[in-house]
Structure 1
Amino acid sequence: MIDFITLCDYSGTFAFAISGIRLASAKQFDWFGAYVIGLVTAVGGGTLRDLLLNATPFWMEQASYLTVSGLALLFVIIFKKFVIRLNNTFFIFDAIGLGLFAVVGIVKTLEFGFPMWVAIVMGTITGSFGGMLRDTLINEVPLIFRKDIYALACVFGGFIYYLCTFTGMSSSIIQFITAVSVFLIRVIAVKYHVSVPVLKGEES
């Protein structure tokens, strides 16, 4: 039986790949270009995390992540009228991937024996760095650098994970709560226009 963290990993890959492919379609990329953007979005954060943890990047040990990204492309192609025309599709899938990958990054870092503060940083990198690469490749200002609550949602989720470890709940429940928390923080922040203050330079 598949465990929750593996389910998070594959579900996050699928969701993030769709978010990347969705944006690539708006830029009129061809199928291969859209697949590359989707794949980079899906594996970018986890790749940086693994390199920092001195581990082999996860997708180099299992081709399934490349396959899941391919299925995401197929999903967008088949359901393009729903996925491409629905304005909030990118946002929903991106928020889902953000929450799931934040959990994956936290859990993997703790498994490597690092303290919780490192796990929170790695969870944030896992959740947000792929999106940063996606936005850079399609010539957009990365969400992580805008005033949106994006990477900070992963940070808050990391603290929620840490606090939940003192409750005696099972690891799967803690992981589920954390993923949902990151997703909800992201959604609520956008819905109610909660943002980080902009750092303004000197006026000329």
Structure 2
Amino acid sequence: MDLLDPSLQRYLDLGGIFVFAISGALLAVRKNFDVFGIAVLAFATGLGGGIFRDLVIGAVPAAFSDPGYFLTPLVTTVTVIFLHPELGRIDRAVQVFDAAGLGFFCVVGTVKAYEYGLGTVGSAALGLATAAGGGVVRDVLANEVPSLLRRDREIYAVPAIVGASAVALLLRFDALDNWTMAAAALTAFVIRLLALRFNWRAPRAWSRGTPTAPDPSG
């Protein structure tokens, strides 16, 4: 069954790949990587989450069957190589596009996982992996702690979890249509933007205080 029109899914995928690849390529520039390193981070960030999802559900990754999925991060790499000073100055705009990609990918990933027979929880989990997986691969390759695990970064996984869970529940109750799907993507997008605006952080482990240790000297 096709819950999402294939042509629409392709455009959403390519749009998400483009904005994620920009963030990967820009990080490579900031790390002073060479041209090959910039390309690797662009491809890893743009395609990593989708490839992981497709391998889990047993589908041939679209990146290996559709030239557009390969050309998009390649074009992004060339663009960043020559225009990275300008792109660096519009970093806030890149973050907005990245938030939009997060919303698109958590929806598309959840729907595709459901189409391949996964249940509500599994579909939502793969929706999250699709949205955040590329960023994790990017940070690991760049020798950084993944952003979604860092306390000093705005929440990233939470918006994706909310969007993917909403789509999974809509699918579970047969209430998914173009409007509700768009609403789920918009919700993830808005939460991410609010997190950027107000510096929202995920809570840390609750502590009741550490009792004073006894003096070993007596």
Provide TM-score, normalisation by structure 2. Answer: 0.82
Residue 108 (structure 1) aligns with? 112
Pairing partner for 1:21 from 25, 34, 59: 25
Tell which deviates more after alignment, 17-26 or 92-101.
92-101
| CA displacement at 1:59 relative to structure 2 | 1.2
Q: Distance in 2 between matches of 1:2 and 1:112?
A: 14
Q: Per the alignment, in what secondary structure is the counterpart of residue 195 of structure 1?
A: coil
| CA displacement at 1:164 relative to structure 2 | 4.8
Residue 82 (structure 1) aligns with? 86
1:56-108 per-position Cα deviation (integer Å, ceiling 9, x unaligned):
22212223211000111233234333202333244233222211111121111
The letter of the residue matching 1:103 is V
Q: Distance in 2 between matches of 1:156 and 1:131?
A: 18
Distance 1:12-1:187 versus aligned 2 partners, 3 A rule: same
The percentage of counterpart residues that share the same residue type is 33
Q: Per the alignment, in what secondary structure is the counterpart of residue 91 of structure 2?
A: coil
The letter of the residue matching 1:191 is R
| CA displacement at 1:176 relative to structure 2 | 2.2
Q: Per the alignment, in what secondary structure is the counterpart of residue 79 of structure 1?
A: helix
Pairing partner for 2:167 from 133, 147, 161: 161
Q: Does 1:183 align with 2:183?
A: no
Unaligned runs of 5+ in 2: 214-218
Within 5 Å, give how 1:2-13 maps onto structure 2.
3-13=7-17
Unaligned runs of 5+ in 1: none
Within 5 Å, give how 1:30-45 maps onto structure 2.
30-45=34-49
The letter of the residue matching 1:189 is A
The letter of the residue matching 1:51 is L
Q: Distance in 2 between matches of 1:78 and 1:2?
A: 33
Q: Per the alignment, in what secondary structure is the counterpart of residue 145 of structure 2?
A: coil
Contact 2:121 2:168 in 1 (8 A): no
Q: Distance in 2 between matches of 1:176 and 1:31?
A: 37
Q: Distance in 2 between matches of 1:88 and 1:35?
A: 22
The letter of the residue matching 1:48 is F
Q: Distance in 1 between matches of 2:175 and 2:52?
A: 31
Residue 150 (structure 1) aligns with? 156
Q: Distance in 1 between matches of 2:62 and 2:10?
A: 12
Residue 120 (structure 1) aligns with? 124
Q: Distance in 2 between matches of 1:31 and 1:93?
A: 23
Contact 2:105 2:130 in 1 (8 A): yes
Q: Per the alignment, in what secondary structure is the counterpart of residue 100 of structure 1?
A: helix
Q: Distance in 2 between matches of 1:18 and 1:98?
A: 13
Q: Per the alignment, in what secondary structure is the counterpart of residue 84 of structure 1?
A: helix
The letter of the residue matching 1:75 is T
Contact 1:76 1:84 in 2 (8 A): no
Contact 1:8 1:100 in 2 (8 A): yes
Tell which deviates more after alignment, 117-126 or 45-54.
45-54
Contact 1:22 1:90 in 2 (8 A): no
Q: Does 1:133 align with 2:137?
A: yes
Cα RMSD of the aligned pairs, angstroms, is 2.5
Q: Does 1:49 align with 2:37?
A: no
| CA displacement at 1:13 relative to structure 2 | 0.7
Q: How many residues align?
A: 203
Q: Distance in 1 between matches of 2:106 and 2:122?
A: 12
Q: Does 1:199 align with 2:205?
A: yes
Q: Distance in 2 between matches of 1:32 and 1:142?
A: 21
Q: Distance in 2 between matches of 1:110 and 1:163?
A: 11
